[in-house]
């Protein structure tokens, strides 16, 4: 475990240096990350301007949800999305050998090599916005609420990571399928809205149910509305899908052919 932590910290440091070296990229990336977050909040403001309740959620609750989504995506995009975007390139050009021949779990290595640290700006801004909303809407939270929120947020990250990884593993069989990343970004967009919106569309809901678990339970923890069923569902789904992602990855590697072998 210490070994993996050391590798992760080295990766973090290298990505930080890379960020400082390409300053134009740093500025562009920060603007696009923060800009996307700001616009998503503006959409909620607009939609709730004349509709006081929205799928059973009040306007205040939806704004809290949008702040939580920004924290979530800031972290997820920053820590993982860059790696998912490069996996198809790595597989296509036979560079996966470099990951497989190292004395480290290949899934861990390929998931943590690239980080877009500017996503952390979105996390900080999202957290500040969330704190502000909870204060002005008079929604008190205590340390246990915050800890539960962080725990459920962590489980949500594990769940979304596992879903992404399972889908991206398909590029082992279809190396030219680079825009499968775009497909996953489209699926991601479903987590911005309450589950209740999709419950009315039952066929669709079944298909996207795991995505609806990613951020809603964590947000409900802050709103004191989370149920034990939701917590257990999220825990179960995140652990099962994490296991499946590793199983599927190891199975897929049997079919990997590199440029040098």
CB of 52 to another protein, least distance (A): 12
Q: Report the relative pairing of strands 53-54 and 57-58 from DSSP bridges.
A: antiparallel
- Does 6 participate in binding another protein (rule CB under 8 A)? no
Least separation, in Å, of the C-beta of 188 and another protein?
Answer: 10
Give the residue with the Cβ less far from another protein, 42 or 232.
42
Question: Which range binds another protein by CB under 8 A, 4-12, 132-140, 150-158, 179-187?
Answer: 179-187
Looking at residues 180 to 219 of the shown chain, list those that interact with another protein (rule: CB under 8 A).
Answer: 180, 182-183, 185-187, 189-190, 193, 197-198, 200-201, 204
Site string for another protein, 26-45 (x = CB under 8 A): --xx-xx--xx--x--xx--
Bridge partner residues of 54 (DSSP): 57
Q: Which of 78, 64, 73 is nearest to 36 (CA)?
A: 73
Q: Is 25 in the site for another protein (CB under 8 A)?
A: yes
C-alpha closest to that of 84 among 106, 110, 116: 110
Q: Is 257 in the site for another protein (CB under 8 A)?
A: no
Among 176, 227, 257, 258, binds another protein (CB under 8 A): 176
Please report whether residue 20 would count as binding another protein according to CB under 8 A.
Answer: no
By beta-carbon proximity to another protein, the closer residue of 8 and 199 is 199
- Residue 12 burial (10 A CB sphere; 0-12, 13-18, 19+): middle
Copy the structure tokens of residue 258.
């590199």
- What's the min distance (Å) between Cβ of 134 and another protein? 26
The rounded distance, in Å, linking the Cα atoms of 175 and 234 is: 31
Contact between residue 126 and residue 67 where contact means Cβ atoms under 8 Å apart: yes
CA 1, 160, 148, 9 torsion-angle sign: positive
- CA 130/CA 125 separation, integer angstroms: 8
- Considering beta carbons, is residue 31 or 89 the nearer one to another protein? 31
Range 42-71, binding another protein (CB under 8 A): 42-43, 46-47, 50-51, 54-55
Q: How many residues form the binding site for another protein (CB under 8 A)?
A: 37
Nearest alpha carbon to residue 214 among 154, 125, 136: 154
In the complex, what is the shortest distance from the CB of residue 146 to another protein, in angstroms, rounded to a whole number? 30
Question: H or E segment at 220?
Answer: helix 216-222
C-alpha–C-alpha distance, residues 249 and 243, integer Å: 10
3-state secondary structure of 255: coil
**Which positions lie near another protein, rule CB under 8 A?**
22, 24-25, 28-29, 31-32, 35-36, 39, 42-43, 46-47, 50-51, 54-55, 174, 176-180, 182-183, 185-187, 189-190, 193, 197-198, 200-201, 204
């Amino acid at each position: 475990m210490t070994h993996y932590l050391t590798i992760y910290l080295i990766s973090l440091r290298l990505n930080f240096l890379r960020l400082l070296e390409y300053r134009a990229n740093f500025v562009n990336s920060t603007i696009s990350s923060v800009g996307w977050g700001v616009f998503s909040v503006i959409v909620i403001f607009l939609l709730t301007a004349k509709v006081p309740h929205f799928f059973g959620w009040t306007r205040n609750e939806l704004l809290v949800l949008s702040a939580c989504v920004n924290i979530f995506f800031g972290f997820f995009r920053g820590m993982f999305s860059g790696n998912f975007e490069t996996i198809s390139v790595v597989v296509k050009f036979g560079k996966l050998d470099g990951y497989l021949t190292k004395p480290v779990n290949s899934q861990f290595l390929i998931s943590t090599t690239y980080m877009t640290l500017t996503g952390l700006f979105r996390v900080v801004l999202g957290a500040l916005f969330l704190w502000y909303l909870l204060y002005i809407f008079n929604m008190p939270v205590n340390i246990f609420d915050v800890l539960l929120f962080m725990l459920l947020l962590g489980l949500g990250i594990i769940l979304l990571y596992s879903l992404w990884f399972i889908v991206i593993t398909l590029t082992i069989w279809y190396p030219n399928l680079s825009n499968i990343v775009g497909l996953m970004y489209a699926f991601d967009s479903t987590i911005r809205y309450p589950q209740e919106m999709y419950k009315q569309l039952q066929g669709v809901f079944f298909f996207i149910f795991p995505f609806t678990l990613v951020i809603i339970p964590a947000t409900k923890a802050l709103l004191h509305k989370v149920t034990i069923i939701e917590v257990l569902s999220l825990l179960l789904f995140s652990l099962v899908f994490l296991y499946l992602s590793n199983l599927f990855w190891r199975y897929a590697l049997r079919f990997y052919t590199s440029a040098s072998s």
